[in-house]
Structure 1
Amino acid sequence: MSRDARKTAEGLAYLSGFGNEHSSEAVAGALPEGRNSPQRAPLGLYAEQLSGTAFTEPRAHNRRSWLYRIRPSAAHPAFTRTGNGAIRTAPFTQSVPDPNRLRWDPLPGPESGTDFVAGLWTLGGNGDVTQRTGMAVHLYHATASMERVFSDADGELLIVPERGGLLLRTEFGLLHAEPGHVALIPRGVRFRVELLDEDARGYVCENYGAPFQLPDLGPIGANGLANARDFRAPVAAYEEDEGRVEVVNKFCGNLWTAEYDHSPLDVVAWHGNHVPYVYDLRRFNVIGTISYDHPDPSIFTVLTSPSDTPGLAGVDFVVFAPRWLVGEDTFRPPYFHRNVMSEYMGLIEGAYDAKAAGSGGFVPGGGSLHNMMSAHGPDRATFDRASAAELRPQRIDDGLAFMFETRWPVTLTPQAARAEHLQPRYDDVWQGLERHFRPLH
């Protein structure tokens, strides 16, 4: 762990608000007045627009930022192919979609000196990256800070730390993400990951489709779920480093590398809404029943990537945050169900209320996959306990779980299908659910 990095992370300043037009300058006067690209940008900087959506998309959906940087991004040498490591990208054609319920232990520890990019391991996904549809589920386990810089032209990266804090040095400034936070790096934004602890482990959703946005609230009204004001964008910070810097670019599923003679994290000022951000999941304003029955898990949606069908997401990010359960005559844990959506679930800390604590099955750093229409729900111990419990107001605060939910089946990579940490007897958690049916006559 770098003591200086930890001190830097703890002292960061942020801008508040999701999807807003923000502006920030690390040096006074670096932002031009009233014009995006004046004939001469202030302080001898270069003006450059970074577009996360097509120019002609509706204003409400358009994502772009203006960057005022020491050197333009165009000033770089040719990229050459480099090894992809354990990173894989859609279309996932080396396996067939699996209808079985699957669960994994945490990703095994990597070798010493493994940085964030080298520590990425793809579980699976769907869609086609060249068509900008679908998503991928990755896990990461890193033991060293990055010295190189990375960007992903294929999609935005939603990073969910499970163990170890991260300092993300981006073109826009610095973000600090600890377990219990999520950080989003937009498509094409360059960044470097520095570890704040001895190692770092977690999950990544690579979203190839429309950028994540806050879900519509509908009948909920104007307030609830994730509040826009709780998303934090970085204050401008820049590097003036002159010297060799490796820059890795993920493009159409492959990694490409180039050796720059300067740091590309040299943005002195910026304004726009295509920006990285961090969000504390414990700020999620949970909506739930105050009478009876168990609402659908869509009430836990933090972010959604809309598709061409209203209400049917390319991918949703859902969190099961601390909350009270007060429903009367209600089975309170997640109910048995089959779903048209496919669900990958991970655990950040503690236990999940649909699985018995201490079972050793679903643990922090592990994950489960329930593809579309696969039947799942509470295990036998949880069902027996919840069916017989005396129903009093109950606080759920001993676990933090999340879900990547997607409209298409998740096809596994061969490495995930054959992984040693794939649990061989996951189906056993539903064994012993006895027949209780007793006809009245």
Structure 2
Amino acid sequence: MVTEPAYQSGFGNGFETEALSGALPIGRNSPQKCAYGLYAEQLSGSPFTAPRASNERSWLYRIRPTVANWGRLAKADAGLWRTAPCAEVEIPPAPMRWDPIPLPSEGLSLIEGVRTITTAGDAGSQAGMGTHVYLATRSMENEYFYNADGEMMFVPQQGGLRLRTEFGIIDVDPGEVAVIPRGVKFSAELPNGSARGYLCENYGGALTLPERGPIGANCLANPRDFLTPVAAYEDRDASSKLTVKWGGSLWVTEIAYSPLDVVAWHGNYAPYKYDLRRFSPVGPVLFDHADPSIFTVLTSPSETPGTANIDFVIFSDRWMVAENTFRPPWYHMNVMSEFMGLIYGVYDAKTGGGFVPGGISLHNTMLPHGPDMDAFEGASNADLKPHKLEGTMAFMFETRFPQRVTAYAAGLAQLQQDYGDYGLPLRKHFNPERR
């Protein structure tokens, strides 16, 4: 039984790993009798008939199959976790921004501490996403969870997480992300005693690496930097609780053992982590400001080519060298809606303050947004020498769907009531007599 994380590198590979020698069958997936008295169980993340390139499944060789001791499920209180479609409140269309939400004083596990900020699309039709923060102050003890509605991307901002999964152990800290596919059971420990971060619940197609197009074979996120855990099983009998998110509700059942009992597995459907500081950004090296899509780490494709269900985009350390160019993000209105968070540092489009680590901003479908006055004036009058942005890590969950703000988020004391007015101080510079 392994208690520390170990990893194998690569993205979308056909992995194989065993915690006991010989636990993986050779040449067949479901032998008549598995080694060590194990059960074979397949976990499918795609339909059986999905094309090979998009077919996702793993074979798990476990002490008990999931169906064993599966008791009756009782509906549990979902707390402040919401699922699309969700239209609790009507919000006037305007940019929105929140200060960091403080950690609570009461003991909350990772699952109990999920607070939904927006929902988009429809989980039942497997399209869209939910954006959340998590505020955790206690580790999960004999408590396990899996999400049948979508895969989960954790973006730590304060304090790390140890995710004990069926596939192995993942440690994830601020500056890294972890992705848990739908249906994968896990338990979360808090090495630092508490943790705050962001969570994207993806109802649509699984996150994958974007096409590089004219960029070619290199840069952006490289497959070798994604880490998937090696097998690490728990053979432990103890009264435990398994919570399942299904159909937008939480359901709970009592079990008599740890469900993290996979001794060996092989396949391409597995959790993973990625260090955002290993992202290799590209950018303009002469003039003009490229679209932020060049900073896409992972994408959830839709049925429409080039239109993402979700893009996960980061704004990290990089050189700014373009000449005769307004270097921060330009003013724009976008068919995509943008949920932004700041892990650390200062975001270059909001230098006037108000967007701090742990904060949130929302710029919804076809609503105007762009740099604040300080950022505009500074960038418009700067001496355009090569400049390196350092010590910054902002990110964006972008989706083709409008995002609905929850009643919880709309009622937060941390909601900046005047943020929608940040463009008003921008001055008129037009003079037809002076080019």
Normalising by structure 2, report the TM-score: 0.97
Matches of 1:372 and 1:290, distance apart in 2: 30
Q: Separation in 2 of the partners of 1:182 and 1:279? A: 5
CA contact under 8 A between 2:121 and 2:128: conserved in structure 1? yes
| Alignment equivalent of 1:41, drawn from 24, 29, 34 | 34
CA distance in 2, matches of 1:323, 1:338: 25
Q: 1:339 & 1:175 partners in 2: Cα distance?
A: 36
Using the alignment, how far apart are the partners of 1:134 and 1:378 within structure 2?
Answer: 27
Letter in 2 for 1:174: I
Among 114, 121, 144, which residue is 2:108 paired with? 114
Structure 1 residue 112, shift from structure 2 partner: 2.9
Decide whether the 8 Å contact of 2:82 with 2:119 is kept in 1: no
Among candidates 421, 432, 435, match of residue 439 of structure 1: 432
1:267 to 262, 265, 271: 262
Deviation for aligned residue 1:110: 1.6
- Whether the 8 Å contact between 1:184 and 1:277 is mirrored in structure 2 is yes
Displacement of 1:27 in angstroms is: 0.7
- Paired position in structure 2 for 1:164: 159
Using the aligned pairs only, state the percent identity.
55
Q: How far does the alpha carbon of each residue in 1:168-213 deviate from its partner, in whole angstroms, 9 at most, with x for none?
A: 1000000010000000000010001101112100000000000001
Q: Counterpart of 1:430 in 2: which secondary structure?
A: coil
Deviations 1:62-104 (A, max 9, x none): 1100000000001121111110011000111223465210001
Deviation at 1:372, TM superposition (A): 1.0
Q: How many residues align?
A: 431
SS in 1 for 2:54: coil
Superposition deviation, residue 420 in structure 1: 1.6
Partner SS state of residue 218, structure 2? coil
1: CA distance between counterparts of 2:426 and 2:92?
Answer: 24
- Preserved contact between residue 108 and residue 421 of structure 1 (Cα < 8 Å): no
Distance 2:209 2:7 in 1: 19
In 1, Cα distance between equivalents of 2:106 and 2:164: 22
CA distance in 2, matches of 1:269, 1:296: 43
> Is the contact between residue 121 and residue 402 of structure 2 (CA under 8 Å) also seen in structure 1?
no
Amino acid at match of 1:132: Q
Contact 1:98–1:411 (Cα < 8 Å) also in 2? no
Letter in 2 for 1:286: P
Offset at 1:428?
Answer: 3.5
Contact 1:106 1:366 in 2 (8 A): yes
> Is 2:383 the counterpart of 1:399?
no
1:78 equivalent to 2:72? Answer: yes
SS at match of 2:53: coil
Equivalent position SS for 1:298: helix
User: Aligned letter for 1:415?
Assistant: Y
Code of the aligned partner of 2:185: R
Tell me, yes or no, if the aligned pair for 1:97 and 1:409 is still in contact at 8 Å: no
Q: Which sits farther off after the overlay, 107-116 or 342-351?
A: 107-116
Question: Does 1:224 pair with 2:228?
Answer: no
Residue 107 of structure 1 deviates from its aligned partner by 1.7
Query: Does the 8 Å CA contact 1:242/1:261 hold for their aligned counterparts?
Result: yes
Taking the TM superposition and a 5 Å limit, the aligned residue runs for 1:102-141 are: 102-141=96-135
**Pairing 1:29–2:54 present:** no
1:64 aligns with 2:57: yes
Mapped partners of 1:245, 1:432: distance in 2? 57
> What pairs with 1:356-395 in structure 2 (closer than 5 Å)?
356=351, 359=353, 361-395=354-388
Give the letter for the 2:342 counterpart. Answer: L
- Give the partner amino acid of 2:6: A
Whether 1:286 and 2:286 are equivalent positions in the alignment is no
2:346 to 351, 354, 367: 351
Q: Where does structure 2 lack aligned partners over 5 or more consecutive residues?
A: none
With 362-371 and 422-431 compared, the bigger mean Cα shift is at 422-431
For 1:253 and 1:406, the matched residues in 2 are separated by 19
Say yes or no: does 1:306 pair with 2:305. no
| Residue deviations 1:408-430 (CA, integer Å, cap 9, x gap) | 10011111112221111103332
* Aligned mates of 1:411, 1:90 — CA distance in 2: 9
Tell me which amino acid in the other structure corresponds to 1:336.
Answer: Y
Distance 2:305 2:356 in 1: 34
Q: SS in structure 2 opposite 1:353? A: coil
1:258 aligned partner:
253
Matching residue of 1:53: 46
Match of 1:328 in 2: 323
| In structure 2, C-alpha distance between the alignment counterparts of 1:330 and 1:49, rounded to whole Å | 53
Separation of aligned partners in 2, 1:16 and 1:30: 21
Shift of 1:259: 0.7
Structure 1: give runs of 5+ residues left out of the alignment.
Answer: none
Mapping of 1:181-220 within 5 angstroms?
181-220=176-215
Indicate the larger mover: 231-240 or 76-85: 76-85
Deviation per CA, 1:348-381: give whole Å up to 9, x if none. 0011000115x2x111111000001111111101
1:86-129 deviations in whole A, cap 9, x for unaligned? 10001112234652100011123223321100110001111111
Q: Which residue number in structure 2 is paired with residue 276 of structure 1?
A: 271
TM-superposed CA distance for 1:47, in Å, is 0.2
What's the CA shift for 1:18? 0.5
Within the candidate set 232, 239, 243, 2:238 is matched to 243
Root-mean-square deviation (CA, aligned residues, Å) is: 1.2
Measure the CA separation in 2 of the matches of 1:290 and 1:296. 14
Residue aligning to 2:402: 409
One-letter code aligned to 1:382: A
3-state secondary structure, aligned to 1:137: strand
Asked if 2 retains the 8 angstrom alpha-carbon contact of 1:326 and 1:393, the reply is: yes
Contact 2:116/2:409 (<8 A) preserved: yes
